[in-house]
Amino acid sequence: MADQCEGRDRFQDFGDFVRQATGHAPYPYQARLAAEGLPDLLQAPTGAGKTVAAVLPWLHRRLVTDPDRTPRRLVYVLPARSLADRTADRIREWLDRLGLADEVGLHLLAGGSVQDGSWRRHPERTAILVGTQDLLLSRALMRGFADNRRMAAVSYGLLHNDAQWVFDELHLFGPALATGVRLQRLRERLGTAAPTHTLWMSSTWDANGPNEPDGRVLRVRAGAGGARRVRRLDLAPDRYVERLVRALLAAHVPGTRTVAVLNTVERARAVHRALTAERPAVLLHPYVRPGDRPEPAELTVTTGTVEAGLDLSCRTLLTELAPWSSLVQRAGRCNRHGEYPGGGDLLWCVPPEGGGQPAAEQWLDAREGEPVTAEQLFDARIAEHREPVDGLERAELLALFDTSAEPAAKVTPLVCAAQDTTAFVAWRAWAAETAGETAGETAEEPAGEPAEDEPDPGRAELCPVPLAELAPLLADGRGWLRDQLDGHWRRAAPEDLRPGTTVLLDAARGGYLPATGWTPASAAPVAVADGPPAPSWLFACTAWVSLDQHLMETEEEARALLTALAELPGLAAGHRDAVFRAARYHDLGKSHDAFQQMLRGGGGDQPPGLLAKSKAPYNTGVNSRMYFRHELVSALILLAEQTDFLVSYLAAAHHGKVRIAARPGPDEAPLLLGVRDGDRTPEIALSNGERFPAGVLRTDAFRAPSTWTARAEGLRDQAELGPFRLAFLETLVRVADWRSSARHDGQVPNPILESPS
């Protein structure tokens, strides 16, 4: 591959590679990882360079020393409330300095970037995904939060095959710890198309914590940074915030940075509000729009969001008592790089509701006034209470493979704590023209609701919001969401909320302040962020494409894709052949009259014969059969020809709608996804000499008791296939289809913006 060759030429030496990326030489243990590969568990004191250790040794091995045995995707997982974009920014800077930004894809799955799906279009490319546990693990369970359900199998296929997972600070993941460990074991048991591994990283050594993952463990004793002196603040619960602010200001050394870490966002807002009455300060937490997030300042108030993924250092740090793993991470931000030779100050206090951490409190009290190092924090064996979590079982994993229905077992308890679940909110200002009392008069009045053509929000508008705090705002009808069935905006109710749901709120009714982010108590009108501008042009098909041409081109793309992927040791020759044939047959169902009429219904200079795509602007997309799915027809044609069932399944699954089962649309009986028993399909002649005779469609295989479902589940459960490889094969067919379609895409005028002639 070109990226591998170029990387080999420029950076044979790992030390040069790291120095170019970071400006510093690697630690010895980081060089060891580059030589030997990533372990299963890395334990090192905070500030010891674990982010570098997880990313750059993998990247060097992938591009330079061992590309064939190094997974091509790095999946970097951060705790739910962390600022994942800061980690992505660091990695982006490294790639820029290495000159690899165009060769290595970097994708953020967090905050306003939650809907980024571009990484799915290039499975052959070396890529780094950075995101939070809720968004990444839900995709690994085929139920991606804030993800299109039809894309579920593609995300699943790429996350479970040819991937190196990294969990940054395992003690902060809650239920995701057990789920991540179990997923790795299931991958090893059920098989993958290419090896996939998991690295767990930790800055604490908890003797009573979760069992260590099986495999190679690397413990690093040496840490970076300097010491911090421990001092307890005794703050009475009454007037707690006022007393805390006074203590914070008294401890602050002008010209240096002071950080206060609070256990709740509500208290962080209160402390920030009181502090800014005295001095300028910033509030840092995850519930803010991307463009409003401040940089850490001399006085910074924050939450547990600093505990992972944020390379922040300060002279003075005040923290509320918290679980030991959180305290270690917070303390690690004090004099993190040793820039204060005289030491930093680590202040701590018990919050008004009590600490509930007697062992941690005792350890800190025993070191009152003493300097403590990162190594001392790392070596302390402080037990933490953790609620037991049921591990993901094989049966649950297999049940989740069917995306046509919601299984009884919900995924949220498997990926994050309930208090960490979020929706995404955008604020819009709505107005409607109302007829005036006198002729010719109009007035603009707040309408409080979106128009029919209201666009979906863009990245800059989206603010993560805790579900529990958003639900009360929907009870009075102020929220709107896009209905998944008819595509129209409708009022959102509290029961509509799911992790990852996107909601529009009326900007006139408040809920957000630029300086504090999500502020549900605020009634001040929200300054509307710039939404996605209406483009003056769109990408659309610029040619009439025959069915035969599209099928042949899709097979060509499938063969090119598998050639680019090269080593996939988990795939048999029969699996590859099934991908090629499924690519060749995937759109046979477009021969149905309902689909042909849709393609030809807009007029234009239409060629004769069966079409796969119509030329813009004649492709109206309006089908006379509601819910019609051409891929169901493809499956029925292939079943009638007794085609290998894996080929039939992959052809049916190429839009993610017809997979393990086909569920009818509401009130469409006796039709099934727009197909009526007795519908006829014409003869299809392909240019390679294959013929599919005219036939009569019967949907019996998809109706209860469904023989299709039984056979599809049989594929999923085959020892030589399994769910991970099967989803990966689905991905290959879909990517080939996308690429063959893109051959004929080009810029066309946006009809919405065209002036009438």
> Mean pLDDT of successive 10-residue segments in the chain (757 residues)?
52 94 95 96 90 97 95 96 91 97 94 84 96 95 91 97 95 91 96 96 64 71 81 94 96 96 94 95 93 92 88 94 92 91 95 90 95 90 71 89 80 89 92 43 55 87 92 88 84 90 92 92 90 68 96 98 93 96 98 96 94 92 91 98 97 96 91 97 97 97 95 96 98 98 87 44
Alpha helix stretches (DSSP H) within 402-441: 412-415
Q: Between helices 14-22 and 84-98, what is the axis angle to 10°? A: 120
- What distance separates the 2 farthest-apart alpha carbons in the chain? 87
Tokens of 212: 């260590």
Among candidate residues 340, 372, 404, the one where a domain is terminated? 372
CA distance 652 to 485: 21
CATH number, domain with residue 36: 3.40.50.300
Is 381 domain-assigned?
A: no
Domain match, 572 and 671 both: yes
- Among 489, 495, 509, 488, residue whose Cα is nearest residue 446: 509
Confidence (pLDDT) at 435: 38
CA distance 201 to 182: 16
Q: Amino acid identity, residue 233?
A: L
Is 569 domain-assigned?
A: yes
Residues recorded for the chain: 757
Alpha helix stretches (DSSP H) within 566-629: 573-585, 593-600
Confidence (pLDDT) at 166: 97
CA distance 586 to 718: 23
CA distance 590 to 219: 58
Domain match, 174 and 114 both: yes
Instruction: Give the 3-state secondary structure of 383-399.
Output: CCCCCCCCCCCHHHHHH
State whether residue 132 is helix, strand or coil. strand
Contact 537, 752 (CB under 8 A): no
Instruction: Count Cα atoms within 13 angstroms, Cβ side, for 438.
Output: 0
Q: Please report where in the chains the tokens 């090119």 appear, as a residue.
A: 560
Is 677 domain-assigned?
A: yes
State whether residue 131 is helix, strand or coil. strand
CA distance 249 to 658: 61
CA distance 666 to 237: 56
Q: Amino acid identity, residue 738?
A: W
Q: Please report where in the chains the tokens 């490319």 appear, as a residue.
A: 125
Contact 60, 11 (CB under 8 A): yes
Domain match, 683 and 563 both: yes
Domain match, 503 and 552 both: no
Task: Output DSSP code: residue 314.
Answer: B
Contact 43, 161 (CB under 8 A): no
CA distance 619 to 602: 6
Task: Output DSSP code: residue 223.
Answer: -
> What distances in angstroms separate CA 89 from CA 86, 94, 163, 295, 516, one per listed residue?
5, 9, 21, 13, 22
Is 412 domain-assigned?
A: no
Among candidate residues 356, 372, 388, the one where a domain is terminated? 372
Burial 515-547 (b: 16+ CB within 10 A, else e): ebbbbeeeeebbeebebeeeeeebebbeebbbb
Is 527 domain-assigned?
A: no
Contact 541, 621 (CB under 8 A): no
Residue 688 CB contacts under 8 Å (≥ 6 apart), including other chains: 552, 584
CA distance 85 to 428: 24
DSSP H or E stretch at residue 748: strand 745-749
Contact 90, 51 (CB under 8 A): yes
CA distance 570 to 163: 13
Confidence (pLDDT) at 206: 52
Contact 442, 434 (CB under 8 A): yes
pTM of the model: 0.92
Domain match, 581 and 485 both: no
Q: How many domains does the chain have?
A: 4
Confidence (pLDDT) at 478: 85
CA distance 258 to 484: 47
Is 64 domain-assigned?
A: yes
CATH number, domain with residue 741: 1.10.3210
Tokens of 106: 């970097």
Domain match, 58 and 117 both: yes
Phi, psi of 538 (to 5 degrees): -130, 160
> What distances in angstroms separate CA 710 from CA 701, 713, 717, one per listed residue?
10, 5, 11
DSSP H or E stretch at residue 471: helix 467-474
The helix/strand count (H/E) of the chain reads as 23, 31
CA distance 628 to 632: 9
Domain match, 573 and 702 both: yes
Among candidate residues 199, 219, 239, the one where a domain is terminated? 219
- Among 530, 520, 517, residue whose Cα is nearest residue 287: 517
Residue 171 domain boundaries:
2-219
CA distance 232 to 244: 12
> What distances in angstroms separate CA 42 from CA 174, 374, 470, one per listed residue?
18, 16, 38
Contact 219, 43 (CB under 8 A): yes
Confidence (pLDDT) at 409: 60
Confidence (pLDDT) at 53: 96
Q: Is 416 left (phi over 0), alpha (psi -120 to 50) or beta?
A: beta
Domain match, 571 and 428 both: no
Domain match, 553 and 700 both: yes
Domain match, 66 and 130 both: yes
Task: Output DSSP code: residue 675.
Answer: B
Is 390 domain-assigned?
A: no
Neighbours of 219 (CB within 10 A): 13
Is 379 domain-assigned?
A: no
Instruction: Count Cα atoms within 13 angstroms, Cβ side, for 608.
Output: 0
CA distance 237 to 244: 10
Domain match, 132 and 20 both: yes
Domain match, 662 and 629 both: yes
Long-range contacts made by residues 701-708, C-beta under 8 angstroms, separation at least 24?
701/636, 701/639, 702/632, 702/661, 702/662, 702/672, 703/672, 706/661, 708/635, 708/639, 708/661, 708/662
